[in-house]
Amino acid sequence: MRLFCVLAFATLASSAFGADSVVVGRAISNTYSARLPCGENEICLDSIYLWVIDPAKALAGPKINGRLTAETYQHVGVNRHYLRSLRLFVLRPLTEIRDALRASDAKYYLVASSPIYKDGSYCISVDPTELGLALKNVRTGSDGTFCFDHKQVE
């Protein structure tokens, strides 16, 4: 239960701790960092992974300059093909929730990421209007993701 509370806090704590940044760029690497705390009778599948991201263009939120490291929770690392396909990243500063996520010197939490899909869209788990993106024709997928044409932001 405690692990769930930490995960929920990190995921739901939004711009109350600082505005999210949305950037277009490239993922450079995705590596295992640390296990998450797990209670004796809990089944724990996620670990903390570190992403190195090279942002090329800021789309919304505070500007980010230069290559950065971000943390996120994942079951396993991503394969090289998927890593290279990612282009859109939603990043949250770790300033206020730093102690809960302490695993590295990362300054950001990777909230969402997306490749450009075959239909030319980005799909993310966060409502793009809440991120400050003014978009037309945002579609909500059956899995709850928000999809929009990548040309609207590039």
Residues in Cβ contact with 16 at an 8 Å cutoff, skipping those fewer than 6 apart:
96
Residues in Cβ contact with 15 at an 8 Å cutoff, skipping those fewer than 6 apart:
none
Exposed/middle/buried for 52, CB within 10 Å: 0-12, 13-18, 19+? middle
For residues 29 and 64, is the Cβ–Cβ distance under 8 A?
Answer: no
Give residue-wise pLDDT tens across range 118-136: 999 999 999 999 999 999 9
When pLDDT is averaged across residues 65-72 and rounded to a whole number, the result is 93
Question: Tokens 């024709």 identify what position?
Answer: 137
Give residue-wise pLDDT tens across range 39-57: 888 888 888 899 999 999 9
Q: For all residues of the chain together, what is the average pLDDT? A: 84
Model pTM? 0.82
Q: How far apart are CA 124 and CA 147, in angstroms?
A: 7
Strand partners, 48: 34, 73
Counting residues of the chain whose pLDDT is more than 90, the rounded percentage is 62
Choice between 86 and 101, residue whose per-residue pLDDT is larger = 86
